[in-house]
Amino acid sequence: MSIQITGASAPLSLRPADTSAVSTAKSGFADIMKSTINQVNQAQNRGEKAIEQLNTGNAESLHEVMIAVEEADISLKMLVQMRNKALSAYEEIMRMQV
């Protein structure tokens, strides 16, 4: 049994890259989010390293450890709030009637 395709047209051509303002904003937002996540991750790592140094007795002072830990905590809370706001905006957009 063989299958024959009749009336097949040429394959679809690829669309050119989207350079609209929306796609530019989308990539800009993605870059901002990636950068923010990287900064939060670095702050978390600094906090963990400071705690490790305190536990091993290599920390210079307790207040520097506390500052590093609080910076990590605040940056994580900020990231969670950014996520909540983005999710809230997405949900509101999805409720809009077209």
Cα dist. 40→62, 65, 68 in Å? 22, 17, 12
93 has a pLDDT exceeding 90 = yes
Number of domains in the chain: 1
The pTM of this model reads: 0.66
Q: Does some domain include residue 1?
A: no
Q: Does some domain include residue 29?
A: yes
Q: Does some domain include residue 74?
A: yes
What is the domain range of residue 65?
Answer: 22-95
Q: Does some domain include residue 16?
A: no
Q: Does some domain include residue 49?
A: yes
Q: Does some domain include residue 17?
A: no
Region 50-55: mean pLDDT is 93
- What one-character-per-residue DSSP string does 7-50 give? S--PPPPPPPPP-SHHHHHHHHHHHHHHHHHHHHHHHHHHHHHH
Identify the residue with better confidence: 8 or 79.
79
Q: Does some domain include residue 89?
A: yes
Region 3-21: mean pLDDT is 58
Region 76-81: mean pLDDT is 95
Q: Does some domain include residue 46?
A: yes
